[in-house]
């Protein structure tokens, strides 16, 4: 372990920071619109299965990898085990077969991506998984996340005026200008997204403890309280029951193959998995805390946050006659109405958007942290320069994503390139980033992490890292041992096969 590594000041600080990474826009904005789109209760069941049977085991893998290596994801994958093994070779073979299947289906872009990963796995073995989870995935997410973060900045700024809560026309106008970037004023969105991205970078520049812990400790509890206030209000509205029915009475006929993949992707996104966060944060963790308890706490908090967000949003959505399939703008349509129904709406609204902004920041800093750690170690850069490099490389992508958040209308040439030349079906640049990371990169990296821990590094070693203190930890770890070997990988593979329309 290098001498100048920072440590979390306490195990509680670590839990809060991990929870800070997990709880963010994913729980409120993304969970609501994805769950709405794929049919409510049935989606939630698949999602919960994915959280507890796939997400939680993977989080434990990541935390123990991080703590064992004491370094970031880049090193963890290459230093704990031989760089190239039979399994990394088999992975390359599987990817080549996948690429061939894509060529056969005429999906040349997908074929290219699979081919790229196959080559990486052949040349760099497990190092390629490290590269993906350190740089590729989290940085792509950081770009589109900044766009949503920018929307939240704008909502925080206009909330004190209260107009969007009182006047539906004002709310609709703001939504058009900002979220769908369809009005003439999309420069506001560009500025806000860039501001969010820069703010994230500056906090990361300030360093782990000062930057991350302080924020998380103060503000995370507030978001729970605010959501509960909304729930109490909206549950008494007419037709609120319809929303509860949507959330809790499953209709499996709506559960398509796409929905299953979406649930899996949301599980990865909301727990910040398959993108190096657990490994990077785990590497800062001292020896004294028990991992099973820590991981369980984080997953539970995150799941409660999502379910509460659903309870706050869907009863109102149904009582106002909106459709659950509103897409990315769903919460921005519903929340202003919710606050409009509370006394002192401007106050509640401002507090809510401000806290959400902080929750979004504690998440977005975790996307950059692993990459910064990687750049510092590989290129021997000081922290400040590493962050600067990220700003220069990623910076231009943020405005581009902001103006093509709902469609390609503002950038038609780019749209033509993606939809006609590359034959991608995503409706916006934003959706391309979102789909590539959540539906492909994270689940694949998660699967590879499971296989790496079970069959390459060895899950006995992972178990030693976990520090089981009591009967709960012990029982939990025994179950984990079985689940990471036989249950989680099989489920991820089945979800992929279903998503690709193969077999069933
Ligand atoms: N989990 C966060 C949320 O729900 C988003 C997030 C933070 C994330 N870090 C990540 C998602 C890394 C994927 C990968 O808002």
Would the CB of 449 count as within 6 Å of ligand 1?
Answer: no
Would the CB of 272 count as within 6 Å of ligand 1?
Answer: yes
Place of tokens 């405005």: 399
Which of 145, 302, 357, 361 is the best mutation target for the ligand 1 pocket, counting ligand atoms within 8 Å of the beta carbon and taking the most? 145
Could you list the residue range(s) of the whole structural domain that residue 296 is in? 11-83+125-499
Instruction: Find the mean pLDDT for residues 232-247.
Output: 92
Split at pLDDT 50, 70, 90, the class of 502 is low
Would the CB of 433 count as within 6 Å of ligand 1?
Answer: no
Would the CB of 21 count as within 6 Å of ligand 1?
Answer: yes
Burial level of 104, CB count in 10 A (0-12/13-18/19+)?
exposed
Would the CB of 143 count as within 6 Å of ligand 1?
Answer: no
pLDDT reported for residue 51: 98
Q: Would you give the distance in Å from CA 29 to the centre of its chain?
A: 11
Split at pLDDT 50, 70, 90, the class of 215 is low
pLDDT reported for residue 353: 94
Split at pLDDT 50, 70, 90, the class of 305 is very high
Would the CB of 27 count as within 6 Å of ligand 1?
Answer: yes
Would the CB of 367 count as within 6 Å of ligand 1?
Answer: yes
Residue closest by Cα to atom 7 of ligand 1: 363
Q: Which CATH number do you get for residue 324? A: 1.10.4160.10
Would the CB of 277 count as within 6 Å of ligand 1?
Answer: yes
Would the CB of 270 count as within 6 Å of ligand 1?
Answer: yes
Which of 271, 279, 366 is the best mutation target for the ligand 1 pocket, counting ligand atoms within 8 Å of the beta carbon and taking the most? 366
pLDDT reported for residue 8: 59
Would the CB of 120 count as within 6 Å of ligand 1?
Answer: no
**Structural contact between residues 220 and 20, judged by C-beta atoms closer than 8 angstroms:** yes
* Averaged confidence pLDDT in the chain: 90
Split at pLDDT 50, 70, 90, the class of 345 is very high
Distance between Cα 146 and ligand 1 center (Å): 12
Split at pLDDT 50, 70, 90, the class of 4 is very low
pLDDT at 504 exceeding the cut of 60: no
d(CA 119, CA 296): 36
Give 323-333 pLDDT, tens digit per residue.
999 999 999 99
Question: What sign for the dihedral angle of Cα 497, 500, 502, 504?
Answer: positive
1 in any annotated domain: no
222 in any annotated domain: yes
Split at pLDDT 50, 70, 90, the class of 151 is very high
Atom number, ligand 1, closest to the C-alpha of residue 437? 13
pLDDT reported for residue 2: 41
High-pLDDT (> 90) share of the chain, %? 64
Beta carbons within 8 Å of 429's beta carbon, 6+ residues apart: 400, 401, 404, 405, 408, 411, 414, 418
Would the CB of 26 count as within 6 Å of ligand 1?
Answer: yes
pLDDT at 289 exceeding the cut of 80: no
Which of 18, 19, 20, 22 is the best mutation target for the ligand 1 pocket, counting ligand atoms within 8 Å of the beta carbon and taking the most? 22
Out of 26-30, 66-70, 492-496, give the one with best mean pLDDT.
26-30
d(CA 189, CA 441): 27
pLDDT reported for residue 465: 87
Would the CB of 22 count as within 6 Å of ligand 1?
Answer: yes
Instruction: Find the mean pLDDT for residues 100-115.
Output: 89
Of residues 319 and 285, more confidently modeled: 319
pLDDT at 411 exceeding the cut of 80: yes
Distance between Cα 20 and ligand 1 center (Å): 9
pLDDT at 321 exceeding the cut of 90: no
pLDDT at 463 exceeding the cut of 50: yes
d(CA 475, CA 462): 15
SS3 337: helix
Distance between Cα 373 and ligand 1 center (Å): 17
Would the CB of 138 count as within 6 Å of ligand 1?
Answer: yes
d(CA 312, CA 463): 39
Atom number, ligand 1, closest to the C-alpha of residue 275? 14
Distance between Cα 223 and ligand 1 center (Å): 17
Atom number, ligand 1, closest to the C-alpha of residue 21? 7
pLDDT reported for residue 182: 80
pLDDT reported for residue 432: 94
Of residues 107 and 396, more confidently modeled: 396
Lowest mean pLDDT among 120-129, 475-484, 494-503: 494-503
Instruction: Find the mean pLDDT for residues 198-219.
Output: 74
Distance between Cα 60 and ligand 1 center (Å): 16
d(CA 306, CA 463): 29
Distance between Cα 459 and ligand 1 center (Å): 26
Secondary structure of 389-458 in HEC code, one letter for each residue: HHHHHHCCHHHHHHHCCCCCCCCHHHHHHHHHHCCCCCCCHHHHHHHHHHHHHHHHHHHHHHHHHHHHHH
Nearest to 134 by CA among 393, 373, 379, 362: 373
6 in any annotated domain: no
194 in any annotated domain: yes
Give 51-64 pLDDT, tens digit per residue.
999 999 999 999 99
Distance between Cα 85 and ligand 1 center (Å): 30
pLDDT reported for residue 214: 66
pLDDT reported for residue 3: 38
Distance between Cα 362 and ligand 1 center (Å): 9
Residue closest by Cα to atom 6 of ligand 1: 272
Residue closest by Cα to atom 10 of ligand 1: 272
Place of tokens 């908090």: 301
Helix axes of 330-340 and 345-379: crossing angle, nearest 10 degrees: 140
pLDDT at 107 exceeding the cut of 80: yes
pLDDT reported for residue 1: 36
Task: Check residue 238 and give left, alpha or beta (phi > 0: left; psi -120 to 50: alpha).
Answer: beta
134 in any annotated domain: yes
End-to-end Cα separation, the chain, in angstroms: 48
Of residues 110 and 161, more confidently modeled: 161
High-pLDDT (> 70) share of the chain, %? 95
Lowest mean pLDDT among 175-184, 433-442, 477-486: 175-184
Atom number, ligand 1, closest to the C-alpha of residue 145? 5
190 in any annotated domain: yes
Place of tokens 């994913």: 26
Give 425-462 pLDDT, tens digit per residue.
888 999 999 999 999 999 999 999 999 999 999 988 88
Distance between Cα 25 and ligand 1 center (Å): 8
Nearest to 309 by CA among 355, 274, 364: 355
pLDDT reported for residue 260: 93
114 in any annotated domain: no
pLDDT at 17 exceeding the cut of 90: no
- The count of domains in the chain is 1
Distance between Cα 269 and ligand 1 center (Å): 5
Give 219-232 pLDDT, tens digit per residue.
778 889 999 999 99
Give 75-91 pLDDT, tens digit per residue.
888 889 888 999 999 99
Distance between Cα 104 and ligand 1 center (Å): 34
Distance between Cα 194 and ligand 1 center (Å): 18
78 in any annotated domain: yes
């Amino acid at each position: 372990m290098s001498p100048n590594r920072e440590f979390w000041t306490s195990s509680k600080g670590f839990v809060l920071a991990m929870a800070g990474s997990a709880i963010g826009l994913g729980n409120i904005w993304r969970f609501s619109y994805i769950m709405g789109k794929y049919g409510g209760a049935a989606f939630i069941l698949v999602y919960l299965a994915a959280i507890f049977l796939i997400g939680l085991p993977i989080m434990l893998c990541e935390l123990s990898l991080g703590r064992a290596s004491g370094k970031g994801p880049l090193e963890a994958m290459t230093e704990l085990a031989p760089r190239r093994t039979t399994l990394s070779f088999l992975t390359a073979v599987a990817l080549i077969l996948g690429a061939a299947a894509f060529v056969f289906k005429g999906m040349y872009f997908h074929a290219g991506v699979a081919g790229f990963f196959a080559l990486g796995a052949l040349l760099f073995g497990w190092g390629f998984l490290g590269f993906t989870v350190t740089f590729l995935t989290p940085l792509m997410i950081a770009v589109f996340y900044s766009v949503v973060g920018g929307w939240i900045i704008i909502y925080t700024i206009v909330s004190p005026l209260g107009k969007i809560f009182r006047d539906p026309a004002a709310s609709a106008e703001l939504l058009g200008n900002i979220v769908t970037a369809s009005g003439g004023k999309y420069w506001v969105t560009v500025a806000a997204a860039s501001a969010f991205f820069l703010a994230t970078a500056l906090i990361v520049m300030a360093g782990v403890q000062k930057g991350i812990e302080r924020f998380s400790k103060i503000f995370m509890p507030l978001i729970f309280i605010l959501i509960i206030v909304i729930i109490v209000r909206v549950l008494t509205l007419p037709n609120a029951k319809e929303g509860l029915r949507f959330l809790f009475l499953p209709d499996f006929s709506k559960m398509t193959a796409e929905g299953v993949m979406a649930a899996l992707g949301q599980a990865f996104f909301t727990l910040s998995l398959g993108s190096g966060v657990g490994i990077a944060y785990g590497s800062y963790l001292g020896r004294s805390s028990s991992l099973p308890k820590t991981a369980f706490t984080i997953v539970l908090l995150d799941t409660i946050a999502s379910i509460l967000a659903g309870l706050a949003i869907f009863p109102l959505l149904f009582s106002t006659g909106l459709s659950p399939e509103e897409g990315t703008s769903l919460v921005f349509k519903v929340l202003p109405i919710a606050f409009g129904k509370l006394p002192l709406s401007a106050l509640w609204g401002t507090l809510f958007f401000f806290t959400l902004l902080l929750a979004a920041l504690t998440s977005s800093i975790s996307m950059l942290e692993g990459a910064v750690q990687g750049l510092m170690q590989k290129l021997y850069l000081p922290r400040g320069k590493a962050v600067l490099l990220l700003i220069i490389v990623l910076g231009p992508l943020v405005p581009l994503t902001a103006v093509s958040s709902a469609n390609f209308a503002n950038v038609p040439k780019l749209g033509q390139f993606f939809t006609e030349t590359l034959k991608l079906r995503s409706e916006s640049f934003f959706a391309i980033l979102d789909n590539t990371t959540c539906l492909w990169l994270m689940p694949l990296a998660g699967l590879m992490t499971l296989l790496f821990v079970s069959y390459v590094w060895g899950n006995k070693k992972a178990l030693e890292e976990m520090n089981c203190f009591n009967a709960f930890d012990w029982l939990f770890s025994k179950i984990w041992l079985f689940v990471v070997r036989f249950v989680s990988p099989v489920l991820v593979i089945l979800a992929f096969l279903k998503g690709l329309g193969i077999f069933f």
